[in-house]
Amino acid sequence: MTTVREVMNTDVVGLRPDNTLDEAIRLLYERDCGGAPVVSLKGEVMGMISELAFLDVLFDVSSRSAPVAKFMTRQVHVVGPDDSLQHAAHMFELYGTRRLPVLESGKLIGMVTRRDIIRHVLATNESLGNPLESMFPSVAELPVLP
């Protein structure tokens, strides 16, 4: 069983809640990232900011000086480094996110993306299984309609 630790990226772009949106946009553009965690000085994830939030402010120049905390998503789904890749894939399926922060002892240590999982599956031909079957085992027993 492959774990998140084996495929996660440890070179994570993190933002502080008081960074301006302009700083965030420039940093993510320079690093070619679609989003990043917003992290406290203690390394705790406080939220996420993504390109979607930036689209709104690109048209309102005055918003660019606003703090990231004002626009970040506060509900963040996370995984642990020892979680299975299958679990991470299920999280992507359930919540429709593109990236999941990886936390160990409550601190950010990496990020895993949908692309990381796809890259791994293509390279190894590993099967992650049907997410519905593992969440709802009785689904596998349902008859198939002709």
| pLDDT, position 127 | 80
How many other C-beta atoms are found inside a 10 Å radius of the C-beta of residue 82? 11
Could you tell me the pTM of the whole model?
0.83
Strands 107-113 and 99-104: antiparallel
Any idea where the domains of the chain sit in the sequence? 4-136
pLDDT of res. 137: 56
Check residue 125 and give left, alpha or beta (phi > 0: left; psi -120 to 50: alpha).
left
Task: Quick: pLDDT tens for 88-120.
Answer: 999 998 898 999 999 999 999 999 999 999 999
- DSSP 8-state class, residue 12: -
Q: Give residue 77's pLDDT.
A: 96
- The SS3 assignment for 59 reads coil
Lookup: tokens for 15: 């933002």
4-136: CATH architecture: Roll (3.10)
Residue 19 near residue 36, CB atoms below 8 Å:
no
Whole-angstrom distance, CA of residue 125 vs CA of residue 127: 6
pLDDT beneath 50, residues of the chain: none
